[in-house]
Amino acid sequence: MTPAALRITVVGAGAIGGFVGAKLAEVGEDVTLVDASAEHVEAIRTEGLHVSGAAELRVRPPVFVPAGFERPLETVLLAVKAQHTADAVEWIAPRLHESGCVVSLQNGLQEPLIAGLVGAERTIGAFLTFGGFYAGPGEIVFGGEGSFRVGELDGRASDRIAALAELLEQAHPVEVTDRIMSFAWGKTAVEAWYFATALVDADVVDIIDLGERLPELGELVAEVAKVAAAEGEPCVPIDGFDPNVFADGDAEGEAASWLAQRRYWDGHISRRSGIWRDLAERRRPTEVDGILAPVLEIAERHGIETPRLRRLIALVHDAETGELALGLPALAALTA
């Protein structure tokens, strides 16, 4: 069976899962939401899931906490935070239909972890740069459109990928790619410098315009790009931002990439990353260990030094515990 013929379960009904699930429910697809927040689930049951911002809709799909969900899983859109991937997939695995699949709508390099738990043949990769944020129980803010790709892990063209793309097109424009992990690596390189901007407590465009810390931010990008190339999955440009030019020392390409990122952020409602929101507003752990720690492990395997990434992870941990105050001095600490 193809994904279009199967029931869809969104696991993690936050900013991304909530938006995609709401859009699919709006057009009549068989969508069920599963989320760990009982408060969020109850709000959706009673008032519906409300999406505002760059899109406006309210839907009332079936919604459950994991303990209250009993039926088999078929097409799973996984949208939990990176640090919760293993727990979520361990819950999914015994319930997943033999012909079912898990589609990772997540940040970082989650696909290998998922494949290790449910099998590569039941894992589908995805990459996206549209975004938003969870505003409260039953409330999602959609920040604006971006890029969206889906693909088989081995790059082959398949009927299920074509059907999945047709399904997801109803939520956001999407393309099929034969290089899904190169897209995942490209986004991970972008996310590396997003973690650094979250330490500043300022809008991303303002940090770009300030300019004085762009060399250090570029070094973070370069470290990820070098690891990706060694892994055989060189980064692809993300919304005009090319991580490879930072590894190559291409000053002209770097300037063009920063300009592309400025255009991207100018086109979105939110001016700061979800990482900053986790640190400054929600006061909770970020995805840093789920997104950047795997890069360090792969770098060690290839004998690649990643001092800037290591320092960044330590600084983010300090910010999570309150030991590091957000501001420009925090970013300057990258060079310490």
Beta bridge partners of 294: none
- Residues 173 and 111 occupy one common structural domain: yes
State pLDDT tens for residues 213-232.
Answer: 899 999 999 999 999 999 99
Domain count, the chain: 2
26 and 158 co-located in one domain: yes
Same domain, residue pair 172 and 186:
no
Residues 186 and 325 in one domain: yes
Q: 134, 151, 178: which is the final residue of a domain? A: 178
In a shared domain, residues 126 and 186: no
Please tell me the predicted confidence (pLDDT) of residue 7: 87
Average pLDDT over residues 153-158: 95
For residues 165 and 204, membership in a common domain is answered with no
Residues 167 and 208 in one domain: no
117 pLDDT band, cuts 50/70/90, is: very high
Q: Looking at the structure, tell me whether residues 139 and 191 fall in a common domain.
A: no
Tokens of 143: 């920040």
pLDDT value of residue 269: 87
Percent of the chain at pLDDT above 90?
91
Give the model confidence (pLDDT) of 13-51 as tens digits. 999 999 999 999 999 999 999 999 999 999 999 999 999
- CB-facing half-sphere around the CA of 86: CA atoms within 13 A: 5
CATH code for the domain of 128: 3.40.50.720
**Burial readout 301-315 (b: 16 or more C-beta within 10 A, e: otherwise):** eeebebebbebbbeb
C-beta of residue 240 within 8 angstroms of C-beta of residue 256: yes
Residues 240, 98, single domain; the answer is: no
* 3-class SS letters over the chain: CCHHHCCEEEECCCHHHHHHHHHHHHCCCCEEEECCCHHHHHHHHHHCEEEEECCCEEECCCEECHHHCCCCEEEEEECCCHHHHHHHHHHHHHHEEEEEEEEECCCCCCHHHHHHHHCHHHEEEEEECCEEEEEECCEEEEEECCCEEEEECCCCCCHHHHHHHHHHCCCCCCEECCCHHHHHHHHHHHHHHHHHHHCCCCCHHHHHHHCCCHHHHHHHHHHHHHHHHHCCCCCCCECCECCHHHHHCCHHHHHHHHHHHHHHHHCCCCCCCHHHHHHHCCCCCCCHHHHCHHHHHHHHHHCCCCHHHHHHHHHHHHHHHCCCCCCHHHHHHHHC
CB 11 within 8 A of CB 34: yes
CA dist., res. 147 & res. 168, Å (int): 13
- The mean pLDDT value for 187-204 works out to 95
pLDDT of residue 201: 87
- CATH number where 232 lies: 1.10.1040.10
CA 315 distance to own-chain centroid: 21
Structural domain including 314 reads 182-335
> Which positions ≥6 away from 24 have C-beta within 8 Å?
8, 31, 167, 168, 170, 171
Residue ending a domain, choose from 135, 153, 178: 178
Residue 276 has pLDDT above 80, yes or no: yes
Q: What is the dihedral of CA 82, 180, 295, 281, to 10 degrees?
A: -30
Residue 137 shares a structural domain with residue 208: no
pLDDT band of 2, cuts 50, 70, 90:
very low
Q: In what order do the strands lie in the sheet with 123-128?
A: 63-64, 31-34, 8-11, 73-78, 96-104, 123-128, 148-152, 175-176
C-alpha closest to that of 111 among 95, 127, 135: 127
Q: Which of 157, 178, 199 is the last residue of a domain?
A: 178
* 5 pLDDT higher than 60: no
Q: Are residues 83 and 225 in the same domain?
A: no
pLDDT at 122 over 70: yes
- Pairing of the two strands 123-128 and 96-104: parallel
Question: Is residue 336's pLDDT more than 80?
Answer: no
Do 163 and 73 lie in a common domain? yes
Tens of pLDDT, residue by residue over 59-70, are 999 999 999 999
Residue 6: the pLDDT is: 64
